Amino acid sequence: MISSCPHCQTKLQFTEAQKAKLQHALARLEPGKNLSIKCPNCHQAIRLGREHTTDKGDRGLRPPPPPDINWLKDGRFETDDKIQDVPMALIMHPDPAVSEKLKTAMESVGYQVMIAESVANARERMQFVNFACVVLHSRFEGSSLDESTFHQFMRKMAMDRRRYVFYILMGPEFHSLYDLQALSCSANLVVNDQDLKYFDTILRKAIPDYEELFGPLLEELGAHGKR
């Protein structure tokens, strides 16, 4: 027999006669039917089934089954190349030690990171992975951004793909978080080399700003089947 109201948690007290009457009424219920009583405290309806338990909703609804966790035993999850729902990032920097620092910073904000050893390697990876973020240092290929074939590749990328890439340029010529300079370079963010130690903080500032500005547009395009 139910002992408390499922809505206000008030303890329900029934006389023996009331208990007997309830049990009799519940026993006569047809399968799938409910009996309603009113809580004396909150006056909300309490629905009871034949099994004498509360029924707060449609008894035809059932919770989903427990998840399949067989992958815990065979290690299938651990050997996957990437987790599908985690955004991917690609780094191109001439200094391997700096690349590792950038990787650590990007992983701290939720990216799964790959480091490209060359432009050819980067472009090959981009054929098979939709990177959410690409980081390019202006000296990765030569002495300036103007000599970068990868930068020209990004500038000429089709908009249905480019709009989903957060493109970051790094180098000594940039002023960190200077939107006008980023815009003039066809990038989403520029970062000066001297601010590497603040890179994770810069990402935490720049990415939400970007999503706030372009998120509604991307959602609208997605709703119309456009990327």
Find the CATH number of the domain harbouring 186: 3.40.50.2300
Rg (CA), the chain: 30
The domain of 129 spans: 88-223
Q: 75 or 43: whose pLDDT is higher?
A: 43
The residue among 39, 58, 77 that closes a domain is 58
Check pLDDT > 70 for residue 103. Answer: yes
Residue 201 counted as domain residue: yes
Mean pLDDT of the chain: 78
For residues 31 and 222, which has the higher predicted lDDT (pLDDT)?
31
What's CA 48's distance to the chain center, in Å?
40
Over residues 116-127, mean pLDDT: 94
Q: Which of 24-38, 158-172, 210-224 has the lowest mean pLDDT?
A: 210-224
**Residue 213 is assigned to a structural domain of this protein:** yes
Residues 35 and 94 placed together within one structural domain of the fold: no
SS (H, E, C) the chain: CCCECCCCCCECCCCHHHHHHHHHHHHCCCCCCCEEEECCCCCCEEEECCCCCECCCCCCCCCCCCCCCCHHHHCCCCCCCCCCCCCEEEEECCCHHHHHHHHHHHHHCCCEEEECCCHHHHHHHHHHCCCCEEEEECCCCCCCHHHCHHHHHHHCCCHHHHCCCEEEEEECCCCCCCHHHHHHCCCCEEEEHHHHHHHHHHHHHHHHHHHHHHHHHHHHHHHCCCC
* Residue 205 within a domain: yes
13: in domain = yes
Statement to judge: residues 92 and 190 lie in one domain = yes
Confidence of residue 73 (pLDDT cuts 50, 70, 90): low
Same domain, 49 and 125: no
Tell whether 46 and 110 lie within a shared domain.
Answer: no
Asked if residue 80 belongs to a domain, the reply is: no
What pLDDT is attached to residue 54? 43
Q: What are phi and psi of 150, to 5 degrees?
A: -70, -40
Same domain, residue pair 116 and 27? no
**Residue 110 located in a structural domain:** yes
Measured in whole angstroms, the distance separating CA 129 from the mean position of its chain's CA atoms is 18
Domain shared by 152 and 99, yes or no = yes
Out of 32-36, 78-82, 168-172, 196-200, give the one with best mean pLDDT: 168-172
User: Could you tell me the pLDDT band of residue 150, with boundaries at 50, 70 and 90?
Assistant: very high
pLDDT value, residue 58:
44
Report if residue 81 sits inside a domain: no
pTM of the model: 0.58
Residue 117: pLDDT band (50, 70, 90) is: very high
Looking at per-residue pLDDT, the higher value among 131 and 227 belongs to 131
Banded pLDDT at 220 (limits 50, 70, 90): very low
Residue 53 has pLDDT above 50, yes or no: no
Pairing type for strands 133-137 and 88-92 reads parallel
Is there a domain that residue 73 lies in? no
Lowest-confidence pick of 25-29, 164-168, 196-200: 25-29
196 and 110 fall within a common domain: yes
Q: What is the mean pLDDT of residues 191-197?
A: 92
User: Does 222 or 51 have the greater pLDDT score?
Assistant: 51
**For residue 40, what pLDDT band results from cuts at 50, 70 and 90?**
confident
Domain count for the chain: 2
